[in-house]
Amino acid sequence: MEDKKTIRVVELFAGVGGFRLGLEKANKDLFEVVWANQWEPARKAQDAFECYTRNFNSGIHSNEDIATVPDDVFQKLRPDLVVGGFPCQDYSVARSLSGEQGIQGKKGVLFWEIERVLKNSHPKYVLLENVDRLLKSPSKQRGRDFAVMLATFRNLDYTVEWRVINAADYGFAQRRRRVFIFAYKNDISFGQSQLNYNQEEIVFHEGFFAKAFPVKEEPYKSRTSEVEIPIDRVEISDNFSFEFHPAGIMRDGMIYTAHTEPVEIEPTPLGDILLDEDEIEEKFYLTKEMEKKFEYLRGAKKVERTTADGHKYYFSEGGMSPTDLLDKPGRTMLTSEGSINRSTHIVEVNGRKRFLTPIECERLNGFDDDWTKGMTDRMRYFCMGNALVVNLIEIMGNRIEEIEKSNETELIQLELL
């Protein structure tokens, strides 16, 4: 009997498992996570890892510094797909002192670990997530870091698409903007079939993201750009600067990027994800003292401040609504959610103001209720502030399944010829 076809997945920087949950929601029988790594440096408690192991029981769960995992582990895993949400760091590179060992990246930068995994396992697909400022970093040399990443993929024979996606634009309950990066090997069926389209057609109609998250026909204010990235990553690190737009493709070092506009789907209002008030514990309601603090924090202000060297300046901040509107999607959730902080969500129901509960924060990201149960409330908020919107990964998982099916159809047609 023929083995059932699965897509073997390696999950890096797994957190509480948003990538895996999204893929399993797309098709649990198709996506098989064979190895997942989550390790929080300088922390005794590994809350995210413990949450991951509570919610998933198959595959190998690794709780170790990814840099210490030997190359042969990745060689043996043979993943078809590598996924991960990695931190935005400084990707500057330099030639080694001897000049013979190629380039050296800054130590501790986790993208180099992604490169090492890809070099040792050669997956067909790579799906990554990051904050959207990655496209513009560092501020003194805009676009350099992302170009170094793209050159890395080019050197490993991948084509790369990217798209900044706001979850609320596609029907979900949180205005959360993140950049997603999808890379695929040039020699696979999908890579070959995409050669039938030019780069503009891929970004607007035929690409990985365009079919899953449709965009308008024309770029915003006609903003498009093209450039070829240098072969030498040291040259990129030292001199390259470029404005990357929210969508684009890199193929054989040639970049086409455009400021796309989403074909929007009505977002889910914040009010739709709230628990019934009789389920809310008293500890989540604001005291009168807290209400006064939030009134100040969320109000307009102009405050005189003094720098360490005695220079005086004014810090200004515009006002915001005293509570979050229940008929609109929620704002971006940060790791400080649930604390007395301007960015914390405050809802008013039946005349009482309160924080969102950890379950409501899970719902904002598309996780199942009580996904992070067992941690302190503080850590539950922190983990959700770090997490991605699971529903977006589910859509991307469906798109990968669609690509796999079209690959199989093409192979069958070739065999029949």
Same domain for 158 and 219: yes
Same domain for 394 and 349: no
Is there a domain that residue 167 lies in? yes
In the set 51, 88, 361, 383, the catalytic residue is: 88
**CATH code of residue 334:** 3.90.120
Classify residue 412 by burial, with Cβ atoms within 10 Å: 0-12, 13-18, 19+.
exposed
Same domain for 278 and 402: no
What are the pLDDT digits (tens) for 369-409? Answer: 999 999 999 999 999 999 999 999 999 999 999 999 987 76
Same domain for 335 and 207: no
Is there a domain that residue 106 lies in? yes
| Domains in the chain, number | 2
Same domain for 407 and 310: no
Same domain for 258 and 336: no
**CATH code of residue 115:** 3.40.50.150
Select from 167, 49, 180, 197 the least CA-distant residue to 126: 180
Select from 391, 378, 386 the least CA-distant residue to 14: 386
Average pLDDT over the chain, rounded to an integer? 94
Same domain for 141 and 88: yes
Is there a domain that residue 48 lies in? yes
Q: Which residue has the tokens 């796999």?
A: 404
Question: In the prediction, which pLDDT does 1 show?
Answer: 37
- Measured CA angle at 199 (ends 186, 391), to 5 deg: 80
Same domain for 243 and 121: yes
Same domain for 125 and 68: yes
Question: In the prediction, which pLDDT does 2 show?
Answer: 42
Domain membership of residue 278 as a residue range: 270-369
88 is catalytic: yes
For the chain, the three-class secondary structure string (H helix, E strand, C coil) is CCCCCCEEEEEECCCCCHHHHHHHHHHCCCEEEEEEECCCCCCCCCHHHHHHHHHCCCCEEECCCHHHCCHHHHHHHCCCEEEEECCCCCCCEEECCCCCCCEEECCCCHHHHHHHHHHHHCCCEEEEEEEHHHHHCCCCCCCHHHHHHHHHHHHCCEEEEEEEEEHHHECCCECCEEEEEEEEECCCHHHHHHHHCCHHHHHHHHCHHHHHCCECCCCHHHCEEEEECCCCHHHHHHHCCCCCCCEEEEECCEEEEECCCECCECCCCHHHHCCCHHHCCHHHECCHHHHHHHHHHCCCEEEEEECCCCCEEEEEECCCCCCCCCCCCECCCCCCCCCCCCCCCEEEECCEEEECCHHHHHHHCCCCCCCCECECHHHHHHHHHHCCCHHHHHHHHHHHHHHHHHHHHHHHHHHHC
Same domain for 203 and 281: no
Question: In the prediction, which pLDDT does 99 show?
Answer: 54
Question: In the prediction, which pLDDT does 115 show?
Answer: 96
Paired sense of beta strands 81-85 and 125-131, if any: parallel
Q: Give the mean pLDDT per block of 10 residues along the chain (417 residues).
A: 77 98 98 97 90 97 96 98 90 71 74 96 98 94 96 98 98 98 97 97 98 98 98 94 98 98 98 97 97 95 89 90 97 97 97 98 98 97 97 98 83 53
What are the pLDDT digits (tens) for 339-368? Answer: 999 999 999 999 999 999 999 999 999 999
Same domain for 256 and 292: no
Give the Cα separation of 205 and 195 in Å (integer).
14
